[in-house]
Amino acid sequence: MKFIWSFFACYSALFSPIAFSQPLDDIAIYTDSKLLISEFEKQPYQNVSTALDTVKLLLDEMNYSREVMLTSLPRAFALMDDGEAACVVNKILNPQRREKYALSLPLNFFQSVRLYQLASLPPLSDGLLNDNHQLRSLHEALTQYPDAAIILPSDFSYGKKLDDDIAQADPEQIIRLPNDVYFERFMQLFFKHKVGFALIFPSTHDRAMQYVSPVPFREYQVEGIEDFTSGHVLCADTQRGREAIAAINDAIVSLYASPAYLQAHLRYLPESSRPVLKEKILSVREAFNN
């Protein structure tokens, strides 16, 4: 339960009573997801994914009246770096982000990314896998398939371990796709055999399977990566940004106790994966309600 105590430490450090007496409508909230913007424009909102559903729950919990705005992640970070009253949603933490920005508690939890490989390619060799059939190193795997490419989203962090691993890969084998078109282009490239590999969240892959004809593939977990990762809200590390994070954290803690929050996660998981995540969320709920 180590992660729970880190939540406590983060929440205590960021708590600011001033924030709760002030509305957050002066805070600009950004996303680099076109899907989020398009789905939020529909009335009434229909459940789409854990990432979108939990943002909607958060905004409703805070009575946030402004619209979430679409921008590229570099521009959102630039605004925050300039001290703008701005935040960006659904980001994985890495050392650079921890150092530069005010960070929320986990807003959502996801099954961690996995490596998907077209079955038309030879399977990964035993030397690339550990005893649990997990991938040891992405860049070493790619060297064994010099004629194959992998698609990755631009300006995206998978966390320190995978970011460092990807940095060692041959750039010629990486096709970078803008975040706002990643889902559509992923379907076009991977499912039409234009690339051999994709590093994506299982929920993204499963959603894509609803729109395309399935193709045979292999799926590998990555060594050293926990089964679930978390998405966070990042705000400018200014007095107002820290106040915003304190208010956001207060709303997130309220969501932890909400049945709707739990269902926003479980409804998108296969039955076999639900008990583990349910236990994690209930543990978080218990920790903050005691």
> Superfamily assignment of 2-110+229-289 in CATH?
Periplasmic binding protein-like II (3.40.190.10)
Tokens 């002066």 locate to 26
22 pLDDT band, cuts 50/70/90, is low
Please, what CATH class does the domain formed by 113-220 belong to? alpha beta
Check residue 121 and give its pLDDT.
96
Check residue 290 and give its pLDDT.
65
**Is 50 exceeded by the pLDDT of residue 264?**
yes
pLDDT tens per residue across span 168-180? 999 999 999 887 7
Per the CB < 8 A criterion, the answer to whether 168 and 254 are in contact is no
User: How confident is the model over 56-70, as a mean pLDDT?
Assistant: 96
Q: Please determine whether the domains at 2-110+229-289 and 113-220 fall in the same fold group of CATH.
A: yes
pTM (two decimals): 0.84
Check residue 214 and give its pLDDT.
75
Check residue 226 and give its pLDDT.
86
Check residue 102 and give its pLDDT.
97
Q: How do the domains of the chain map onto residue ranges? A: 2-110+229-289, 113-220
Tokens 């039955």 locate to 271
Check residue 2 and give its pLDDT.
45
Check residue 262 and give its pLDDT.
96
CB contact set of 160 (below 8 Å; sequence gap of 6+): 94, 95
* CB atoms near residue 39 (< 10 Å): 18
CB contact set of 136 (below 8 Å; sequence gap of 6+): 128, 129, 130, 223
CA nearest neighbour of 157 among 149, 169, 165: 165
User: How confident is the model over 17-44, as a mean pLDDT?
Assistant: 82
Check residue 202 and give its pLDDT.
85
pLDDT tens per residue across span 70-108? 999 999 999 999 999 999 999 999 999 999 999 999 999
Please compute Rg for the chain using Cα positions: 19
SS3 letters for the chain? CHHHHHHHHHHHHHCCHHHHCCCCCCCEEEECCHHHHHHHCCCCCCCCCHHHHHHHHHHHHHCCCCCCEECCHHHHHHHHHCCCCEEEEEECCCHHHHHHEEECCCCEEEECCEEEEECCCCCCCHHHECCCCCECCHHHHHHCCCCCCEEEECCCCCCHHHHHHHHCCCHHHEEEECHHHHHHHHHHHHCCCCCCEEEECHHHHHHHCCCCCCCCEEEECECCCCCEEEEEEEEECCHHHHHHHHHHHHHHHHHHCCHHHHHHHHCCCCHHHHHHHHHHHHHHHHHHHC
**Is 50 exceeded by the pLDDT of residue 13?**
no
**Is 60 exceeded by the pLDDT of residue 203?**
yes
Range of lowest pLDDT (5-19, 128-142, 264-278): 5-19
**Is 70 exceeded by the pLDDT of residue 19?**
no
User: How confident is the model over 51-56, as a mean pLDDT?
Assistant: 96
